[in-house]
Structure 1
Amino acid sequence: MRFQYAFQKIVDLKNNERTQAEWVLSQAIGQLNSEKESLASLHSAKEEMQQELFAVTAGKTTISQLKLLQHYVDHIDQQIVLKNEHVEQAQKVVLTKQEHLTDKMVEEKVWNKAKEKAFRNFTEKLMKQEQQALDEMATNRFQRML
């Protein structure tokens, strides 16, 4: 006799949901990493522009040139502020996806535990039937000997 769990499709569904939640989380983490890399590149661009601005101020330059460079540094600052907001949003998404994954893992574990319990009950029942059959065979043998 073979064990067949009546709710196997639900166990499979919960497994698939957990797998999908893992994929979604990995995508969210990838997006967060992308945002962080973009923020780092903005910081390095700002640093380069500030160095160029300092270098230009050391020599002879026009006010319009200085204003242009300062305007570009201010623009990068605005981009950094926006990118920081994007990073925070991406971090919130990652946290949400982690919580979702945790929920799916708990659901899957509940159904797996139920399946394991059903399998244990099945095994116990099967062993009890086998023991009864062996006891009956032993009783029949003993009666034949008398």
Structure 2
Amino acid sequence: MHFRYPLQKLVDLKSNEKIQAEWGLSEAIGLLHSERNELAALEAHKDEVQHQLGNASANRTTASQLMLLQDYVEYQNKEISRKMKAVVTAERLVEQRQQELSEKMKEEKVWEKAKEKAYAQFISMMQKKEQAELDEIALTRRVQTV
């Protein structure tokens, strides 16, 4: 006789939920890295434009070109601000997914412990049955030898 846990499908479901939560966390971390990389690229580009603006003001440049560069720097500042908000949102998503994963791991552990307890009870019951059979065989032999 082998062990068959009646709630195995529930244990499998909890395991699958944990795996899905891991995927969700991985996806959120990937999004966060992407947002941070884009923010870094925007900041680097803004620095480059500011450097161009500094060079333009030192050299002979028209006022309209200076205003255009200054407007572009302001646009870059707005984009950086928008991207910073996106990074904060992505960080919150990562935290949320970490919490979800933690909950799913706890749920899976609870059901795995229940399964282990049921298995231990099954083993104990099988050992008792086996011992009872051995005792019966020994008693039968003793009766036959007497």
What TM-score comes out, normalization by structure 2 length? Answer: 0.98
User: What SS does the corresponding residue of 1:80 show, helix, strand or coil?
Assistant: helix
Alignment length (residue pairs): 146
Unaligned runs of 5+ in 2: none
Query: How many Å apart are 1:55 and its aligned residue?
Result: 1.2
What TM-score comes out, normalization by structure 1 length? Answer: 0.98
Query: How many Å apart are 1:133 and its aligned residue?
Result: 0.6
CA distance in 1, matches of 2:135, 2:51: 92
Correspondence list, 1:14-93, <5 A: 14-93=14-93
Query: How many Å apart are 1:54 and its aligned residue?
Result: 1.0
Opposite residue 110 of structure 2, the aligned amino acid is: V
Query: How many Å apart are 1:143 and its aligned residue?
Result: 1.7
Query: How many Å apart are 1:134 and its aligned residue?
Result: 0.7
Unaligned runs of 5+ in 1: none
User: What SS does the corresponding residue of 2:144 show, helix, strand or coil?
Assistant: helix
CA distance in 2, matches of 1:55, 1:136: 101
CA distance in 2, matches of 1:61, 1:93: 46
Opposite residue 54 of structure 2, the aligned amino acid is: F
CA distance in 2, matches of 1:7, 1:61: 78
Instruction: Report the aligned-residue RMSD.
Output: 0.7
Encode CA deviations 1:4-40: one digit per residue, 9 max, x unaligned: 1010010011011111111111111111111001000
Opposite residue 3 of structure 2, the aligned amino acid is: F
Opposite residue 77 of structure 2, the aligned amino acid is: D
Which residue in the other structure is 1:4 paired with? 4
User: What SS does the corresponding residue of 2:6 show, helix, strand or coil?
Assistant: coil
Query: How many Å apart are 1:136 and its aligned residue?
Result: 1.1
Correspondence list, 1:120-131, <5 A: 120-131=120-131
Opposite residue 79 of structure 2, the aligned amino acid is: Q
Query: How many Å apart are 1:144 and its aligned residue?
Result: 1.7
